[in-house]
Chains A and B, each alone.
Chain A
């Protein structure tokens, strides 16, 4: 009898390892096969997960898009220097040349008040109103483009202070304030998305747990029988963990598809809006790396949710 038993329990190492991997592979696809027999139930759960996860991932894509908008503006942040009304064109030209030599300035362009008025007359549609004004109300303006190196706030601020100290200058305007505010809002939004991600992550965990719990109940007999013929805990858990895996996997994939579908739907009206601002802006789709992270996140939730329920269930059964 001893000889017989050793036959069972000690197969050659490589053979037993291969058999072990085969069991894994078999369960892996068997759990997928089980879904194919109840596709409606499977798709319901997957859809709930996908919709739940598409909210935080979609918000994140929106934020990334807004950030890229503000990033584009960043690249051409010009400083408008309005000179005093009393400054002559000659003085303005000298000043412009002087600023051009500042090592923080890449380009300084003088827009003289006469040219500015002409341009305004042409484009604003107030042509006759402007003609009615005797004097030119516009000052000379020097448009400064800081060199690319000075993209950090401190250097930019230094340049602005230096400009403000000059006697001829009336107003230094840098349209950065609203950009800071936008970035501030985006930071808050990002924090908000993190919170939503955590909450909805829990929701997905509960969805998977509940689905697996129902699956456990419907396969109660099967579990009892496999236990009776000597199945280990991990053997019984395995198919359920793989179920959780597949729920998470497909839920994550469909969430990413939903988000990208939404981007695709919004992209066209967005670029036609952008073209009104002379911009060729296009919405960004979810980057592949992000999609992979979301799917990974979803899979982890599926496996963990399943593990919690099954291990609780088995602990109650064990004597």
Chain B
């Protein structure tokens, strides 16, 4: 599903954010990405989301070299990835329904199909019945679930989560991780960036560890 081949990323100004990183995620695999802040986690995720381009090497997503993809095709490549963020990145002046339906509206689905899929996604994250609420009226954990529902509503083959439990207490964090496991069980590839080492160890999945831009641990 996802393959990094000798990927390096140097930002203008000289700092090497990633140095010769190689790894592979199989279809339907779930893995964690860890490392101290500044180790290159964000850069690695940005390369997958095509928010940045690699300086060297290849980033392959679904057998496509997304480092070389044309600007015009970037949006379509992004639709294969459901992205989840630490600060949720919701539209706070829109309802839960509007937030979750956004990827489907962009993809151009018809109204009934959108309604059906949004309800299904909200059902999965346990927010059914709160479609017309505004995100601000919901708790932090619930807001993160809106973000997750939005990421999966388009049924992408891969989910990418950047510190999804950063602002949540341990109990809520575990619930969120459990959600990811459920998506993984139906075949979705999941990559979660997190520095919550104890949580990662407790759940026990393959862990990719970055240190100063290098992949220092690549195993389960």
Q: List residues of chain A with CB under 8 Å of any chain B CB.
A: 1, 4-5, 7-9, 11, 15-16, 18-20, 22-23, 221-222, 224-233, 235, 318-319
Contacts and interface: CB of A to CB of B under 8 A. Distances in A.
A8 B187 contact: no
Nearest to A229: B103
Interface in B102-146: 102-103, 105-111, 113
Interface in B135-166: 150, 154-155, 157
Given A5-B155, A8-B154, A221-B89, A22 B74 contact: no
Given A16-B108, A19-B108, A1 B103 contact: no
A141 B157 CA distance: 100
Contacts of B41: none
B110 A226 contact: no
B103 to A, nearest CB: 4
Contact of B107 (A9, A15, A18): A9
Nearest to A11: B109
A282 B87 CA distance: 67
Contact of B79 (A225, A230, A233): A230
Contact of A18 (B51, B74, B106, B110): B110
A232 B107 CA distance: 9
Majority secondary structure of chain B interface residues (helix, strand, loop or mixed): loop
Contacts, number: 81
B75 A19 contact: no
A218 to B, nearest CB: 11
Contacts of A15: 110
A230 B76 contact: yes
B71 interface: yes
B80 interface: yes
Interface string B46-89: 00011111000000000000000001101110111001000001
B114 to A, nearest CB: 9
A23 B78 CA distance: 20
B108 A228 contact: no
B6 interface: no
Given A5-B157, A7-B155, A318-B71, A230 B103 contact: yes
B83 to A, nearest CB: 6
Given A318-B71, A318-B74, A319-B52, A226 B102 contact: yes
Q: What are the 7 tightest A-B residue pairs by CB atom distance, in nearest-first order?
A: A230-B79, A230-B78, A229-B103, A232-B75, A19-B108, A19-B110, A230-B75
